[in-house]
C-alpha cells in the first residue's frame, strides 16, 4: 500500500497542475478578450472613417454581435453611420403589367445552371432557373414560438424540391429562437397567412404570372397585385431595370441571399458565403453588381448571415457560417 504522505504529495501535484492549467487558460482568454476589445476600439475610434463604417454596418447585421459598435460609439454616431451607408429605397415596386420577353429557345426550359461566383471579398453560388413556374415559397406548418422551424434540408425533403434557399426574415435571427415566427408579411397561394392587411413590408414575392415582385407595400396592396406568394425582407436591389443607389459601405460585408429575375422570366438565386476565412462576405453593392451582370431587371435581398444556405439535389452547396448547423426557418424559396 502506498504511504499516506506519498498519496498526499500526488494529490498536491494534481491540484497544482489543475491550478496552473486554469491560470493559463484564464490568462489566455483574458488576453484574447483584451485583443478583441483593442481591435474593436481601433475600428470604431481609429483614423479611417471607411474602416469604422464598414465595421459598424457589418456588426449591425449580425444577430449576436450587433451590440459591439455601441461599446465605443454613441447611438447618434451609429445612426449617422447607418444613414450615410445604406441603399436608397424608391417608393416604386415591380411593374407587373410588363410581359416577359421571348426567351432563348436553345436553352431547355426545364434546365437549371449552378455557377461559381467570386469577388474581391467573397465566393458564392448562383443558380439560374429558366422556368419561373418552378419557383415558389414554402412555409412551416405553424407559425409559432412553441415549435421549431425547418432547415433548408427539411424543406427540400418535405417539398420534394430540387433546390432550396432560405427565405424571409424571422424573429430572433440569432440562431437561439425557434425559427418558426416570420417578420412582416407572408402570403401563400394568394392568401395572407401571416401579418395584417395593413401591414407594410419590403417584399420579395411572385405573382400569378410567375413574375418576381420586389418593393415596399401593404399586404392588401400585394393581394390587389395578384401576388400568389410573398416573404418579407429587404432592401430591394433592382426595380424595373433600375439599380438602387448605394451610399458608402451599405450593409457591410456579410453572407448574403438574393433573388432576381431576368426580362425573359429566368430566376436567379444567389448565395454568398461570409464571415469565414475563404470568404469574408459581400456588400449590398456587390450583390447588385452580380445581379446586373447576369441580367436581372428585378432583384431583392433576403435574410442573410447565418441563415444563408442553398440546397441542390439534396446537398448543401455553399458554406454555412452558423456554428450550430443550418438555421431553423419559417419560410424558404424552393425550386421543384
pLDDT tens digits, one per residue of 126-173? 999 999 999 999 999 999 998 999 999 999 999 999 999 999 999 864
Summarised one tens digit per residue, pLDDT across range 317-331 is 999 987 778 999 999
Q: For the chain, state the CA radius of gyration.
A: 24
**105 inside domain:** no
Q: Do residues 140 and 217 share a domain?
A: yes
Structurally, how many domains does the chain consist of?
A: 2
Q: How confident is the model at residue 31 (pLDDT cuts 50, 70, 90)?
A: low
What is the C-alpha to C-alpha distance for residues 75 and 278, in angstroms, rounded to an integer?
33
Residue 99 lies in a domain: no
Q: What is the pLDDT of residue 15?
A: 65
244's CB contacts (< 8 A; 6+ apart) are 87, 88, 89, 90, 235, 236, 237, 238, 288
How far, in Å, are 46, 179, 276, 277 from residue 36 at the CA level?
14, 30, 17, 17
What's the rounded Cα separation, in Å, for the pair 91 and 118?
32
In whole angstroms, give the CA distance from residue 160 to residue 163.
9
Residue 98 lies in a domain: no
What's the CA dihedral at 141, 146, 151, 153 to 10 degrees?
Answer: -50
Q: Domain range spanning residue 199?
A: 112-335
For residues 188 and 328, state if they share a domain: yes
Q: DSSP for 79-132?
A: HHHHHHSSB---S----TTSPPPPP-TTS-TT-EEEEEEE-SS-EEEEEEES-G
Is 80 contained in some domain? Answer: yes
Say how many C-beta atoms besides its own lie within 10 A of residue 172's C-beta. 13
Q: Taking residues 251-275, what's their average pLDDT? A: 95
Q: How far apart are alpha carbons 183 and 304 in whole angstroms?
A: 14
Judgement on whether residues 80 and 127 belong to the same structural domain of the protein: no
For residues 72 and 200, membership in a common domain is answered with: no
Angle at 173 between CA 259 and CA 203, to 5 degrees: 35
Coil, helix or strand for 212? strand
Query: Is 77 in the same domain as 130?
Result: no
Q: Evaluate whether residue 13 is within a structural domain.
A: yes
pLDDT at 175: 46
Quote the DSSP letter at residue 294.
T
Give the distance, in angstroms, between the CA of residue 141 and the centroid of all CA atoms in the same chain: 22
Interhelix angle 75-84/49-60, rounded to 10 degrees, is 100
Residues 18 and 138 reside in one and the same domain: no
Is the same domain home to 205 and 316?
yes
21 lies in the same domain as 154: no
Res 316 pLDDT > 80: yes
| pTM (2 d.p.) | 0.85
Find, among 255, 258, 240, the residue nearest to 333 by Cα.
258
Residues 51 and 192 in one domain: no
In a domain, 147, yes or no: yes
By DSSP bridging, strand 135-139 and strand 331-335 are: antiparallel
Q: Based on the fold, state whether residues 78 and 120 are members of the same structural domain.
A: no
Query: Domain check: are 38 and 147 in the same one?
Result: no
**Residue 37 grid cell:** 476589445
Question: Which of the four pLDDT bands, split at 50, 70 and 90, describes residue 174?
Answer: very low
| Span 168-196, average pLDDT | 86
pLDDT of 234-254, one tens digit each?
Answer: 999 999 999 999 887 777 899
Shared-domain flag, residues 250 and 204: yes
* Residue 100 resides in a domain: no
Q: Identify which of 201, 152, 191 has the alpha carbon closest to the alpha carbon of residue 331.
A: 152
Say if 127 falls within a structural domain: yes
Amino acid at each position: 500500500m502506498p504511504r499516506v504522505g506519498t498519496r498526499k504529495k500526488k494529490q498536491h501535484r494534481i491540484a497544482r497542475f489543475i491550478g496552473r492549467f486554469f491560470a493559463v487558460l484564464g490568462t489566455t482568454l483574458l488576453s484574447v478578450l483584451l485583443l478583441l476589445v483593442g481591435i474593436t476600439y481601433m475600428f470604431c475610434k481609429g483614423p479611417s472613417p471607411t474602416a469604422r463604417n464598414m465595421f459598424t454596418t457589418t456588426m449591425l447585421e449580425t444577430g449576436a454581435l450587433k451590440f459591439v459598435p455601441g461599446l465605443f460609439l454613441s447611438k447618434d454616431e451609429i445612426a449617422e453611420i447607418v444613414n450615410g451607408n445604406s441603399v436608397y429605397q424608391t417608393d416604386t415596386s415591380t411593374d407587373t403589367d410588363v410581359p416577359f420577353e421571348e426567351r432563348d429557345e436553345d436553352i431547355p426550359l426545364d434546365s437549371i445552371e449552378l455557377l461559381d461566383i467570386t469577388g474581391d471579398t467573397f465566393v458564392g453560388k448562383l443558380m439560374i432557373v429558366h422556368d419561373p413556374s418552378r419557383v415558389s415559397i414554402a412555409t412551416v406548418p405553424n407559425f409559432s414560438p412553441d415549435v421549431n422551424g425547418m432547415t433548408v434540408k427539411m424543406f427540400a425533403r418535405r417539398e420534394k424540391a430540387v433546390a432550396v434557399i432560405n427565405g424571409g426574415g424571422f424573429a430572433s435571427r440569432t440562431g437561439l429562437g425557434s425559427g418558426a415566427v416570420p417578420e412582416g408579411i407572408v402570403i401563400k397561394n394568394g392568401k395572407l397567412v401571416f401579418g395584417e392587411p395593413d401591414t407594410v413590408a419590403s417584399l420579395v414575392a411572385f405573382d400569378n404570372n410567375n413574375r418576381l415582385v420586389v418593393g415596399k407595400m401593404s399586404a392588401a396592396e400585394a393581394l390587389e397585385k395578384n401576388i400568389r406568394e410573398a416573404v418579407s425582407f429587404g432592401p430591394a436591389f433592382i426595380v424595373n431595370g433600375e439599380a438602387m443607389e448605394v451610399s458608402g459601405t451599405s450593409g457591410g460585408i456579410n453572407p448574403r441571399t438574393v433573388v432576381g429575375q431576368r426580362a425573359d422570366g429566368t430566376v436567379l438565386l444567389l448565395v454568398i458565403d461570409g464571415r469565414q476565412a475563404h470568404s469574408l462576405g459581400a456588400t449590398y453593392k456587390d450583390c447588385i453588381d452580380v445581379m446586373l451582370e447576369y441580367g436581372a431587371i428585378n432583384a431583392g435581398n433576403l435574410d442573410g448571415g447565418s441563415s444563408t444556405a442553398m440546397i441542390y439535389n439534396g446537398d448543401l452547396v455553399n458554406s454555412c457560417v452558423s456554428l450550430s448547423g443550418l438555421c431553423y426557418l419559417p419560410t424558404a424559396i424552393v425550386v421543384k
